[in-house]
Amino acid sequence: MSDLKTALDHGLTEEEYQKIVDTLGREPNITELGILAAMWSEHCSYKSSRVHLRKFPTTGEAVIQGPGENAGIIDIGDGQCAVFKMESHNHPSFIEPYQGAATGVGGILRDIFTMGARPIAILDSLRFGDPSLPKTKYLVGGVVSGIAGYGNCIGIPTVGGEVYFDECYNGNPLVNVFALGITNKNEIFRGYARGLGNPVIYVGSKTGRDGIHGAVMASETFTREAEEKRPAVQVGDPFTEKLLLEACLELFKTGAVVGIQDMGAAGLTSSSTEMAERAGTGIRIDIEKVPRREESMTAYEVMLSESQERMLMVLEKGKEGVAERIFRKWGLDFSVIGEVTDTGKLVIAEDGKTVAEVPISLISEEAPVYDRPYSEPEYIKETRKLDLSSVPVPKDLGRALLKLLSSPTLAEKHRIWEQYDHMVRTNTVVLPGSDAAVVRIKGTKKALAMTVNCNSTYCYLDPYTGGAIAVAESARNLACSGARPLAITDCLNFGSPEEPGVMWQFKRAIEGISEAALRLNTPVVSGNVSFYNQTGSIAVYPTPTIGMVGLITDVEKHVTQWFKDDGDVIVLLGETGEELGGTEYLKQIHGIAAGGPPKLDLEAESNLIRALLEASEKGILKSAHDLSEGGLALSLAESCFAPEYTAGITVELPGTIRKDALLFSESQSRAVVSLDDKDLGILRKITESNNVPMSVIGKVGGAGFLIEGLIDIPVSEARRAWATGFENSLKSHAKA
């Protein structure tokens, strides 16, 4: 039997252990303790976040499946639906960057095809520490190689994402992966263990000892040497996952499947108990029937292993032969390991003897839920003290722009994107680099646009506004691409929930996301919470990453961010305010991360989105690019840097605010568009009817990047700074 010390070593508190003893009427044995510790971990139970997550809007006209399943599902018309989700693999990627990132991709893909959908696209959202540190270069190389290695091998294109650098991530990088798939509304599968006596089936790879305690490891801060935790990191095999994907999709067409669940965090434990919980049933597992690749594994090890490329499913009784033939054909393990019961318990048997017996209710609905204390952290008062009068305007604003363009966060990430196969399956319409990735839906005129966004500096300075801006920018990215925003998945990365300051950040970010999602009609349909992203007492900036999906009804009307033709008119939509707090300009040029983030007017944001969609529908926009980090100057520059060519511009900016604010303010609800001069009248009518400010600011053409009275540099010089900045930042450690 286990004892309190063993329970504490498993991450349980004394109070939690006592609750287990009281409910069972006895001390749990080691297998039972391991099961409960894994399922009660922060990673699996959401015990500190659940009370706040209830604030999210989760329903809408397009929503078919909201939170609570493997992935969210939205209706995209014509009997089709999009299935998508985002997850984190932060701790594993710090410990073993290649396998940590690779298995993060594998896990999120299984979440998608478990629902009956064929995955068609991957995005990543990555955050690393100071690029001058050798450790950062090591992590970047390993993580990117892991994502590329898994995605490329399984044949799912990685079509976009984002990469940020900040010292706050030195001890804890963030690796968030988004995946999207397509299926028909009448071909959706869910994780239910229904039907008394129905067989419980194990399929996929054999079970090993890799990944044991992975869920618990993801629910604690780093306080020991990372090398000690390598056994908790799973090992992925994308070739086996490809076989598993095809076998599952083939089996789905037979009508044999009652329910199916990916074996992710906590492995066989989580998949079996979650399926039983949803169905209100029980499950009996004969542990000796689980295929293994290592000898002498205990029931504890088998139940908690997080070996990859495995599924648990419930079949209609009598259909075992149909399923086995399919999985054997694909060279995968297949084993009947148990059955659905009406006991309401998870029962683990070995050689006819019960080795663990735990009520499903104790594992799930009776798991602890905490409304943890929260309070505004002390740093907020200090960081809000920003006196712009003490911040000088640079004498050479062109040099300031070049420095921003070459900063690792804003510079081109070709070194990363070139490792990903963007074009496999030939659905990709817009390559990485534009506001959103666009993937066509074969056999239709439709396309899906997708994006991931979060400005963690904003969230550090004001989590409410930062969370809301992450939603608004995501919607703006989609609208600039010609897509109507539909729904959200999230990956909420924060420090320890046991810190009142962190819980305040989390609570406020949730409130901001909720308000923006409600106002912009983009409900949250899936997501993930990742706490304990800190080393010792040093937490990462709050990083609630938003993934958003939008629909383009006619793929021919998609829009990209790059200027197209000489003579086209450049138009600024929205208004620029003197808002430099929290900007990349302030951070990179003046070394200041302070002030408040820019204000967000959700009505103005909604108006802008509506105007952009109307203009793209009429086919008058040649380009559209949202304004975010780096402000107007960065947006104009990025619009000049098309993959195949470089465009010059001549621009004049009206306004009485300070010159650096005109260029680098990150005021929200703005976009830069270009169009033929003859279509200006149409655009003006659209903006007037939607109450969107509109200013004609210049034209495309020439060899210069000219903003009258402010910046006059060759556009080739601007592009060179942008194209080499990231690579140079990773090399700089050699000179340190």
DSSP letters for 292-325? BSSTT--HHHHHH---SSEEEEEE-TT-HHHHHH
Model confidence at 346: pLDDT above 50: yes
Query: Is 422 assigned a catalytic role?
Result: no
At residue 627, what are phi and psi to the nearest 5 degrees? -105, 125
pLDDT reported for residue 216: 53
What distance in Å separates the CA atoms of residue 433 and residue 417, rounded to the nearest whole number? Answer: 9
91 among known catalytic residues: no
For 141-165, write each residue's pLDDT tens digit.
999 999 999 999 999 999 999 999 9
Rounded distance, CA 268 to CA 139, Å? 30
Q: CB atoms < 10 A from the CB of 699, how many?
A: 18
Per-residue model confidence (pLDDT) at position 220: 56
| Residue 252, pLDDT above cutoff 70 | yes
**pLDDT of res. 421:** 83
Is the CB of residue 273 less than 8 Å from the CB of residue 222? no
Q: What is the pLDDT of residue 235?
A: 81
User: What's the pLDDT at 735?
Assistant: 43
Task: Return the half-sphere exposure (C-beta side, CA atoms, 13 A cut-off) of residue 698.
Answer: 24
What is the percentage of the chain residues whose pLDDT exceeds 70? 96
Q: In what order do the strands lie in the sheet with 333-341?
A: 257-262, 310-315, 199-204, 333-341, 282-286, 345-350, 353-359
pLDDT at res. 736: 38
- Is the pLDDT reported for residue 224 higher than 60? no
Catalytic residue among 10, 52, 89, 213: 89
- 512: region left, alpha or beta (phi > 0 left; psi from -120 to 50 alpha): alpha
The overall average pLDDT reported for the chain is 94
For residue 373, what are its two tokens?
């204390």
pTM: 0.95
Among the residues of 645-714, which ranges form H helices?
659-664, 680-689
In angstroms, the CA 183 to CA 73 distance is 10
The enclosing H or E element of 203 equals: strand 199-204
- Chain segment 430-486, per-residue pLDDT in tens: 888 899 999 999 999 999 999 999 999 999 999 999 999 999 999 999 999 999 999
The pLDDT of residue 734: 43
Q: What is the pLDDT of residues 531-556, one digit of tens each?
A: 999 988 889 999 999 999 999 999 99
Q: Who's near 664: CB < 8 A, 6+ residues apart?
A: 400, 404, 580, 583, 584, 585, 630, 631, 632, 633, 634
pLDDT band for position 210 (50/70/90)? confident
Q: What is the DSSP letter of 394?
A: P
Alpha-carbon gap, residue 152 to 419, rounded angstroms: 9
pLDDT in tens, 355-408: 999 999 999 999 999 999 999 999 999 998 899 999 999 999 999 999 999 999
Task: Please pick, among 43, 52, 91, 558, the residue that the annotation labels catalytic.
Answer: 43
656 within 8 A of 650, measured Cβ to Cβ: no
Strands 484-493 and 671-675: unpaired
| Band (121; pLDDT cuts 50, 70, 90) | very high
CA trace torsion 647, 653, 659, 661 (10° rounding): -80
